[in-house]
Structure 1
Amino acid sequence: MTFEDLRSEVHETYMKYYVAGFKENDVSLIDKMVQYPIAYIKNGSVTLCDSYPIDPKSLKEEKGWDHSIDWRFEVTAVNSLEAHAVASAVRCRADGSKIERVHGFYAFTKTDDGRKMYAVADATF
């Protein structure tokens, strides 16, 4: 596969399962692209989680998050075995007012079942 093919493979996996899972509040979609335990990196510590550490529905309710703007996703490194990607966006309320910016880092491995995320880190500001 070419570099572009590999990048597309990671991007398609992310869109199909991660973005759709967040939009639909469906962690079971996200689970399809995660290799457990997943490393969750937050506030200077690493936690191994047997379930996805971020619940879209709870996050939306807690923050009043309705939609995102200025969304970006980039596969920054990829080969036949692993990939790194970053995403960023601005979370907004239904009225369009900004809540916060979010930046995420994701590490993927290649398995017989496709690309699987094994580490995630996020920061809000």
Structure 2
Amino acid sequence: MKTPVSAWKSALMVIGIALLAYLVMDFNSRMADLRRLSAKKEVVEAELTGLVRTQISLQTQIAYATSEQAVRDWAYESGHMVLPGDNPVVPLAPESATPVPTPTTAAPQPVVDNWQMWLWLFVDEGVPER
């Protein structure tokens, strides 16, 4: 027969082991959450970096678009405008120039695998195109 002190020790030992098991499982759960959240943090940081780069690029484009240089570039290139005193030059093709023909390339032949060729030889269903 066990003494009352021994029974209390056993009960406390079981409770202690159960508490320790609970703490280990809780720690394991927290570590899994940490790994998951760390991976998510890296993904969000990568997205943030991309968005910051996009914002900087857009701010640069806005700064250029609102500058006088952008207006001048558009006027010369797309607007076909000149400043007073400029001499516009329009290149013309010579009248006797013959146009250079563009070479046409043959369409690439589709590749037929060896097993398809052998299947065609034995079964004779569907001629493979070479």
Between 1 and 2, higher relative CO (CA 8 Å, sep ≥ 6) is seen in 1
Q: Same fold (TM over 0.5)?
A: no
TM tier, smaller: under 0.3
User: Which structure has more strand as a fraction of its residues?
Assistant: 1
TM-score, length of structure 1 as denominator length:
0.19
Q: TM-score, normalised by structure 2?
A: 0.18
